[in-house]
Amino acid sequence: KDGHNDLVVASNGNDHVSLWRNDGTGNFTKTLIYDSADFVLSVTAVDFDHDGDIDVASASFFDGYIRWYENLDGQGYEWQNHTIYVGVQGHYVSHGDMDGDGDDDLIAVTHAENTVQIFYAETECDALRVPECCQEGTQWNGTACALCPMGTYGVGNGVDARCEDCPINTCIIPGRKLVPPTCGGITGCSDIDESLAMCFCPEDSSKDPATDTCVACPEGQVRPDIAEERGVDTLGNYTAWEEIQGICAPRQDDGAPLNTVFTTDRRTIVTNQAMGSRCAVAADFDGDGMLDIVSASSNDNAVSWFKNLGGSPHPEFSIKKKITWSSLGSRIVTAADIDGDGDQDVVGASYYDSSLRWFENDGTGVFTEHLISSAVNEGQGVAVADLDNDGDPDIATASSGDNTIAVFKNIGVNGTFCEIKEVVDDNAIGARTVVAADLNGDGWADLASASKDDDTVAWYPNDGTGHFPTKIIVSQGEESTGAYSLVAADVDKDGHNDL
């Protein structure tokens, strides 16, 4: 939380989950989080344990593991990985406060099991159920932290969390310009933690977890006044400065019992009928203040949603509701208010018919399909953000068939998009993921991509007009072999978005 967007990257060629730290100008350095997530396909980042720093979760395909990685020092240098679930073909992870208790729960998709399920986080908020646990974008309703309703936006956290009415025409908040009435995606200020990592190297040295020494490699930790070699079992076994003993020692890694934040007895199987499930994300589609789920599944060509029915201690969900069952090879979905009418719409890309669509929500969860393009060749990823600062959400896509990162501009007439895509990069070989975030601190949403077949993570600065003329390589080759998934978040508390 240094105020800069960092990047968390999943690369399945080397099974790495990594943090790429942003110095605030778009220069990135790597810290390894875990090195044995077997063919990892997806990562997400949020404060799962409610301790004030950003944690990470992943889904890996070959071993079927759903894991979360606890940010131990708050700076993203030391991590503890925890097994949540072992299924068949882990494919996707996302998050949301599904039970309204103030902490973020984990949504996990396992492809071969055709399953979307929720693992409920247990933190102090579960027992307390008090306003102090409310997050920005919610407010206390007397019994729970409820999502801000249509026409409002969230301000503050804890007891100060409240919902403010959006202005009539344009919702203007420092650094943000959003179309009413939802004003979604507003991020509050982050406190900058001035303390250093508990165990660090001298300024002229970086860190190597394999030898526990300070060498020319940006990994691991070591006590600054002792450069003694210490063996560790794997690159995933990070060391920590133990203040009482005065030594650096290996920290226990995987293989421990299920952790106390997530356990399999606190889960809901939303569906096991999403045939070839690929993706699932949370949003309130019917305006009742509870998060629902939308999913993409490729074997039944479906985009479906599941209504949150409420319930205690954890909510129940409806059977799947049709959005479309003709999205051939449905790959990816996300939720956003595309037409500015105050409800959450859905955007999806499909692999076999190369289509990009958005689905207009009438506010009750009834959707109307709109085809944006049939030229997203083997669609793999989508990101929604106002890229040209005109108040309308635009869409960026990643497509592997033509190795392209592209942008479709929203021209602001009830969700009407330019039919001709603006190509950002046509050399992202095997493009898998695209994200939108301000990576250089200029107030504009930039783009970043992961492309599997050229082992590349790259970012594209927004020139201030919604165009992206420059490609900057974050990593290419061995450090990001099989780059597949990435998210942007300020993991190390320096005020910049990391990857």
Q: What is the pLDDT of residue 128?
A: 63
In the structure, what pLDDT confidence band is assigned to residue 233 with cuts at 50, 70 and 90? very low
Q: What is the pLDDT of residue 399?
A: 98
Q: What is the pLDDT of residue 260?
A: 54
CA distance 499 to 497: 7
| Whether the predicted pLDDT of 429 surpasses 60 | yes
Q: Is the pTM of this model over 0.75?
A: yes
pLDDT in tens, 317-364: 999 999 999 999 999 999 999 998 889 999 999 999 999 999 999 999
366, amino acid identity? V
pLDDT in tens, 441-499: 898 999 999 999 999 999 999 999 999 999 999 999 999 999 999 999 988 777 777 66
Give the mean model confidence (pLDDT) for residues 389-399.
94
- Every domain of the chain and the residues it spans: 2-120+204-498
> For residues 314 and 349, which has the higher predicted lDDT (pLDDT)?
349
| Whether the predicted pLDDT of 41 surpasses 80 | yes
- Class of the 2-120+204-498 domain? mainly beta
